[in-house]
Structure formats: structure tokens, C-alpha cells
Amino acid sequence: MLSIIQAAGWPIWPLIACSILALAIVMERFLSLQTHKVAPPRLLDEVLAVTRKGIPPGDVITQLEKDSALGKVLASGLRAVSNEPHLSEEDLCANMESVGRKVAHGLEHYLSALGTIASAAPLMGLFGTVVGMIEIFGSQAPGGSTGGNPAQLAQGISMALYNTAFGLIVAIPSLIFWRYFRGRVDAYLLELELSADRMARHIQTLRKL
């Protein structure tokens, strides 16, 4: 591996840095976007069951906020009504939407960076290819003679090919994981939106009892 890095030359170091950063983001997103941390499957039904007879006390709402991203959204509606019993339906929905946007921002954390790496890595590889081509042309003897420096010629070819390959090696997995996490976040956001809508209708029903 060290010999490959040496053959690729200095342009490969930014690509190595990008690969390390992309790997760190992928690992962090896998940990953060687990279902039990974002939208536990039975949480909404449990909250609806607990609140069937009325708005729960503040400590229960606080515990719900700490449960998950979905818990934060559901708790925001309960807390808003608890603090202001005569809150209008429009204000209730607006409050939950505001918290939902903050939660959505957290779910999308680092995804733009991963997408940028997926887009920039091939260009960085191309830059290394151009540097390698410059090395090749620099190995040719002046005056148009064909007796160039073979060692410098081989070094330029290695630099060009290794950087092109490494740029693709970094870009392709980054793009795949970006698309995967993007789809996962979109699915979570849809679930949060539907759950928040159901919770808002449930709270309105409670207030009519």
C-alpha cells in the first residue's frame, strides 16, 4: 500500500483525507440513523395509549423528548398544549412543524459533506492525472528528441493511473452511501410527518372531551 501511495505522488494525499472523512461520516450516520434512535416502531401507539385520558405531566413529556427524534416531535405538541390549553390547531401544528424541521436538520447532518466528497473525488483524481501527464511531458528531452527519462516517464504514468483509480474508489462508495442515507432519511421524515399529523388530530380530540 505504501508503495502505491509513493507511486501516486503527492496528489493522492487529499484523496486519502477524503476517504478517511467519508468513512467517518458513514460510520457516524449508521450509528445515528438507527431506527430506535429516530422512530421506534411502537412509540406512537404507546404515546396515544398513555394520553388517551388527557395530557400527561411534564416529567413524562420530558422523558418522551429524550427518547428519540419522533419523541421530540410528539412531545412538542403535548408540551405546547400543556403550557397553553387554548392553543389553536394552527399554532399547534406550526409548533410541531418547527420542531420537525430541527429534527430533520439533525437527520441530514453530514450528508451534504458526503455528497460533496462523492462529487469532488473524481475531480481530485483527474487533477492527479493531469499532474501525472505533466510529469510524462517533463520526462521528454528538449528539442523534440525521443530519448526521454524512462524513470520519470514511468513515474508520471503511475501517478496518472493511480490517482484516477483512487478517485473512483473514493467516489463510488461515497455516492452509494449518500444515496442510501438520503433514502433512509426521506423515509424517516415521511414517518415523522404522518405521526405528527396523527398526534395533532389525537390532541384535538382530547381537547373536545
Whether residue 5 contacts residue 12, with contact meaning beta carbons closer than 8 Å, is answered with: yes
Question: Using CA atoms, how far apart are residues 36 and 121, in angstroms rounded to an integer?
Answer: 33
pTM, to two decimals: 0.83
pLDDT value of residue 174: 95
Residue with the three cell numbers 510529469: 135
The tens digit of pLDDT for each residue in 83-98 reads 888 888 888 888 899 9
3-state secondary structure the chain: CHHHHHHHCCCHHHHHHHHHHHHHHHHHHHHHCCHHHHCCCCHHHHHHHHCCCCCCCHHHHHHHHHHCHHHHHHHHHHHHHHHCCCCCHHHHHHHHHHHHHHHHHHHCCCHHHHHHHHHHHHHHHHHHHHHHHHHHHHCCCHHHCCCCCHHHHHHHHHHHHHHHHHHHHHHHHHHHHHHHHHHHHHHHHHHHHHHHHHHHHHHHHHHHC
Q: How far is CA 190 from CA 30, 57, 65, 117, 184, in A?
A: 19, 28, 19, 27, 10
The tens digit of pLDDT for each residue in 108-164 reads 999 999 999 999 999 998 888 888 888 777 666 555 555 556 666 777 777 788 888
Residue 198 confidence (pLDDT) above 70 = yes
The tens digit of pLDDT for each residue in 52-106 reads 888 888 888 889 888 899 999 999 988 888 888 888 888 888 889 999 999 999 9
